[in-house]
């Protein structure tokens, strides 16, 4: 995944479609938020933050999803890449728990 926000917006998906998206990556099942963190796609994360600004339950659901490989959440993937911006967005806007 690249960080091209225009290409991402072109999909014109509903909130529910974003929420239910899953990606297989090396025998791992990740949701969109996890993939965005894994790929360090800051612009797409910002788009998601705005798109889900008024839906706390959906943001929390995305942030709490655990992958099938190690049980990692999006915030763990952001921490593994050392992306401070993503960590802050996940903690403040998605209620991500680093513990």
Cα separations (Å) of 55 from 63, 67, 73, 75, 94? 13, 22, 19, 19, 10
70: Cβ–Cβ under 8 A, 6 or more apart, which residues?
none
Provide the pLDDT for residue 3. 57
Residue 39 has pLDDT above 70, yes or no: yes
Distance of CA 25 to the CA centre of its chain: 15
Mean pLDDT score of the chain, rounded to an integer?
87
Provide the pLDDT for residue 10. 80
Provide the pLDDT for residue 34. 92
- pLDDT level of residue 6 (50, 70, 90 thresholds): confident
Residue 1 has pLDDT above 50, yes or no: no
Residue 52 has pLDDT above 60, yes or no: yes
Average pLDDT over residues 23-50: 89
């Amino acid at each position: 995944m690249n960080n091209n926000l225009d290409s991402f917006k072109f999909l014109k998906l509903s909130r529910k479609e974003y929420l239910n998206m899953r990606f297989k990556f090396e025998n791992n099942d990740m949701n969109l938020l996890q993939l965005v963190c894994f790929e360090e796609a800051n612009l797409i994360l910002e788009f998601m933050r705005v798109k889900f600004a008024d839906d706390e339950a959906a943001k929390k659901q995305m942030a709490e999803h655990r992958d099938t490989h190690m049980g990692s959440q999006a915030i763990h993937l952001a921490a593994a890449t050392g992306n401070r911006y993503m960590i802050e967005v996940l903690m403040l806007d998605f209620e991500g728990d680093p513990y």
